[in-house]
Amino acid sequence: MCTVDKISIIQTLLSLAACILAWVIPKRIMWEQTYSSLGSEYRSYDFAIAVQDIVEFFTITCQSDIEKVPHEYKKRFFFDMYGLNLDDYSDFEDEDVLQMLRSNKKLKINQNDAMKVLHYHKRLLTQYFHDLCSCAKSPFIGKRRVKRDYTKSEAKIMKILFLMNKAVDESPILYKDISSDFRMPSEKRANGMNKDFVYLYALLSKSGRFMDI
């Protein structure tokens, strides 16, 4: 092989390596920033309060009985969000609660602690662990690093969160059907920010009920 051909091959390989590095380096920086942000959130006051709320819900309200989590979470949700006390209804059905909500027009969300209720903490931690899972699956962070930085305690919390989320998914009240027969117009017939709504609606209306992870 002549010298010119060798130089051409080397240049091609160097160009390829440069392209790979140009793609890898920004990706790695992005994932490192994401993982670092999760670490900062983990050490934050809001995260600590959310974890404590979940722990107290399980140990005190559910008496550390995993079987009680779905039922007790429903009761807590209705009390926090509507001020509806179901302590006297140990075996209530969703339809019973639905009738109560329909018959009492004064029930409304408790605005004083709307951002501190258990439901909010559940969603906050669920989103956090979803993002952490993405980092664990990423080749730039990986499961070994996540396993090194987190403990069994987080795994135990996720088991409780799983059952709370499952209670929401299976309840016609906690997961309300908000579909309607209204037909969204085309972008040409929408004005202002509604154009963005029409565009995003067309995109998300074809998606499933859960995120594709």
Length of the chain: 213
Interatomic CA distance for residues 58 and 60, integer angstroms: 6
- Per-10-residue mean pLDDT of the chain, 213 residues long, equals 63 65 75 94 94 94 93 85 70 69 58 69 94 92 93 94 91 82 87 88 84 68
Token pair of 12, please?
A: 């091609």
Residue 136 confidence (pLDDT): 94
Interatomic CA distance for residues 138 and 34, integer angstroms: 11
Interatomic CA distance for residues 71 and 62, integer angstroms: 9
Among 135, 148, 111, 129, CA closest to 54: 129
Give residue for tokens 């006390």.
Answer: 85
Which secondary-structure segment (H or E) carries 208?
Answer: none
Give residue for tokens 């109560």.
Answer: 100
Among 69, 74, 26, CA closest to 175: 74
* Domain range list for the chain: 40-176
Interatomic CA distance for residues 44 and 42, integer angstroms: 6
Token pair of 51, please?
A: 């974890």
Is the pTM here over 0.85, yes or no?
no
The answer to whether the CB of 70 falls within 8 A of the CB of 164 is: yes
8-state DSSP, 205: T
Interatomic CA distance for residues 40 and 105, integer angstroms: 42
Residue 99 confidence (pLDDT): 72
Which secondary-structure segment (H or E) carries 146?
Answer: helix 143-149
Residue 115 confidence (pLDDT): 54
Token pair of 91, please?
A: 């075996």
Give residue for tokens 């069994």.
Answer: 152
3-state secondary structure of 19: helix
